[in-house]
Structure 1
């Protein structure tokens, strides 16, 4: 248990470090710019892997890990149930915080600077068709990949749902891969999560503090994952059995 906790912390620190490095490299990049099309295409693809377009596929791919490794059937149930619960908690927390803080996205503030709207508050008071019209009015100044992201994500900024999903997935599964000595796959997962964060910055959807908040939330949830699993197992699996006949199921962690 201590070893897996250590690996979770190591993965978290690596994600923070890489995300910070990526953000430094983008300090002088303006989101109102149509001259970096190739980078925007890559950012859009990476972002989509953790968004509405690809998160189901990404989730299913990572959920294959316990089936490909030497886990017993009981351990598979434990770890997959825990993962699903953690993801559900992450989604609920993200939704609650977005509606509580109502932080405008960076691209909305750029629209204010361009004079398309008077204030960021005004943007969020518009109807969906009106939001789309405001965004479309700057289409000549923005590459279509960023523009499409803006059209799809006209809600609030804090925290980043994409980053929260990517970091939960990575902090949950990368330590398992490390324990099983799949170091390259674990490293790829960390790089992918950091890339998701960088893509959200590049596309003008989030600030660095949104990403950091998502990382912290993901770490807390993943640290609680073993306890969540044990609670589930004790309540639903052993409820009908006497203590003397309960199987001794080793934790996948």
Structure 2
């Protein structure tokens, strides 16, 4: 197996450690107080939530181009491949969500605490779901306003996690493309950011551990193809691969 593929698969397993640990620990999300460390996790989630996700994508594209130093034609191809890899993940995510229709943890909690049936909730159009969340949580002072607004905005299905797919794809692209060129600090920072985004999805009541696992697995498959095409079509600085 090529060294690049081994690195990407190793990165996938690394990213899966968090949701696997949560799953094995039998931890279940409950909105039982919100310590100060939760707000930074919320801002990590916001780096992927639109419209900030577009800015994050552009910044990462620019940084990858600077790190790889491709010629103009190869740089354009790289931008297209990076964009296609991220968009492909989001498209696959949306198709699976509509098929599986798994409720988010906070929606299950709404059913338990506020008598909002899950099936009834998801039969509503999105704007009515947001209005229902706002109505039900209006008299819940224990919930921070930023969390209530986030829930109002994110009323879709849970499985798999689109935020995780976005962040994991970039982390695995960094592992596949930047690690052999010596950009180790960038790889570590992007991977740490991806893990933080994944942790935020669990802590904010947006996803279950299996949502993160599936998203990471799909991202790895897409990135394997994207990195192979990058090696095939793009030319930049010479790389010494270590098996």
Q: TM-score under structure 1 normalisation?
A: 0.82
Q: Which residue of 2 aligns with 1:111?
A: 110
Q: Which runs of 5+ in 2 are unaligned?
A: none
Map 1:132-171 → 2, pairs under 5 A: 132-138=131-137, 139-171=140-172
Moved over 6 A (4+): 22-26
Q: Given that residues 171 and 191 in structure 2 are in contact (C-alpha distance below 8 angstroms), is that contact kept between their aligned partners in structure 1?
A: yes
Q: Which residue of 2 aligns with 1:11?
A: 11
Q: Which residue of 1 aligns with 2:42?
A: 44
Q: CA deviation at 1:67?
A: 2.6
In the alignment, is residue 190 of structure 1 matched against residue 188 of structure 2? Answer: no
CA distance in 1, matches of 2:153, 2:109: 17
Distance 1:110 1:135, change over 3 A: farther
Q: Which residue of 2 aligns with 1:221?
A: 222
What per-residue deviation string (whole Å, max 9, x for no partner) do you get for residues 82-104 of structure 1?
Answer: 11111221121111111111111
CA distance in 1, matches of 2:3, 2:231: 18
CA distance in 2, matches of 1:115, 1:133: 11
Q: CA deviation at 1:227?
A: 5.1
Q: TM-score under structure 2 normalisation?
A: 0.85
CA distance in 2, matches of 1:62, 1:167: 13
In the alignment, is residue 30 of structure 1 matched against residue 30 of structure 2? Answer: yes
Q: Which runs of 5+ in 1 are unaligned?
A: 234-248
CA distance in 2, matches of 1:134, 1:220: 35
Q: CA deviation at 1:228?
A: 4.9
SS in structure 1 of the partner of residue 90 of structure 2: helix
SS in structure 2 of the partner of residue 114 of structure 1: helix
CA distance in 2, matches of 1:29, 1:76: 43
Q: Which residue of 1 aligns with 2:205?
A: 204
